[in-house]
Structure formats: C-alpha cells, structure tokens
C-alpha cells in the first residue's frame, strides 16, 4: 500500500515516506534514496537523500 494504506494523513505523507527511505537506506546499506510524491494543484515535490 501507499498513502491510502496509511490512511493518507494530510501533511504527514512526506514525513512517512522520508522515514521509510531512511530506514531502507540503512537496512540495505545504500548511499542515496529518492522520495517523490504528488501534491495538490499538480505539484510534484522530490527530495534526494544521501547518507554521509
């Protein structure tokens, strides 16, 4: 599931996705992860996370 499985908490979706990526970066011992999401009004923010 995605946001619907999480109950789609408005304003918290990004935090949940970022937390998931951070967990997976550590679990898989990866350096970079990308989070993308859709937002109201046709916006589509993205964030690139890099472990240092």
- Please report, for the chain, the start and end positions of each structural domain, with discontinuous segments joined by +: 12-50
Residue 1 clears pLDDT 70, i.e. is over it? no
Mean pLDDT of 26-44: 90
Length of the chain as a residue count: 52
Element spanning 21, H or E:
helix 13-28
Return phi, psi of residue 46, to 5°: -140, 150
- The reported pTM is 0.74
Q: Cα(24)–Cα(7) distance, rounded to whole angstroms?
A: 21
Give pLDDT, residue 8: 67
Q: Which residues contact 18 (CB under 8 A, 6 or more apart)?
A: 35, 47, 49
Residue 25 clears pLDDT 60, i.e. is over it? yes
- pLDDT, greater one: 32 or 9: 32
Mean pLDDT of 12-30: 92
């Amino acid at each position: 599931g995605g946001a619907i499985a999480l109950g789609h908490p408005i304003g918290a979706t990004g935090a949940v996705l970022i937390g998931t990526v951070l967990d997976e970066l550590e679990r898989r011992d990866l350096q970079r992860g990308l989070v993308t999401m859709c937002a109201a009004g046709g916006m589509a923010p993205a964030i690139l996370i890099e472990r240092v």
